[in-house]
Amino acid sequence: MMPKARILRTFLAVLLAPLAAYALAAASPKPMFDYRYENYRIWSDRPIPGEITAVLDDVTRRLRTSTLNQRETPVEIFFCNEPWRLWLYGRAFSTRLGGAADVWLTRQVFIRASDIPANRIHTPNGGPLADAAQRPLSYFIAHEITHNDVSRHFGRTVMLRYPE
């Protein structure tokens, strides 16, 4: 018969192992994404169409209006074409969001599956986005980068002090 202390240690190891594996995977998503575009340091789990340059030009245009954005600061953007990737790396444990910014650790941006040539994100239910003309893919990318800009300018804990 095993002593109680050993049973407790085994139980804790079994409980903590999945949490440690998740923390490791969430802290280092780059191995899960194969493609990269050098301007904005973009990775995707599918090939990135050439139209990404037009999308990124629009992101840059949108960010130029912000005094918080520093163009020389590199931004890492990950396109999560598979819902499980957005669930895992978006850190909200949801696939219903358009994108997510990790303001705490890496300041990486995660964007849901998108139609890059059309400058649109795919909605969670597969239907059209009601306000797609006002909120194209470039809007979502700029929006998430802005979360990181706010975090960089006011500190990582600013998100605790202000509502979403």
Is 10 exposed, middle or buried, given 0-12, 13-18 or 19+ CB atoms closer than 10 A?
exposed
Rounded to the nearest integer, the mean pLDDT of the chain is 87
How many DSSP H helices and E strands does the chain contain? 5, 7
Task: Check whether 24 has a pLDDT greater than 60.
Answer: yes
Beta bridge partners of 35: 44
| 110-160 residue pLDDT tens | 999 999 999 999 998 888 788 888 999 999 999 999 999 999 999 988 877
Please say if the pLDDT value at position 34 is more than 60.
no
The tokens 């020389």 sit on which residue?
72
Percent of the chain with pLDDT over 90: 47
The residue among 82, 81, 99 whose CA lies nearest residue 90 is 99
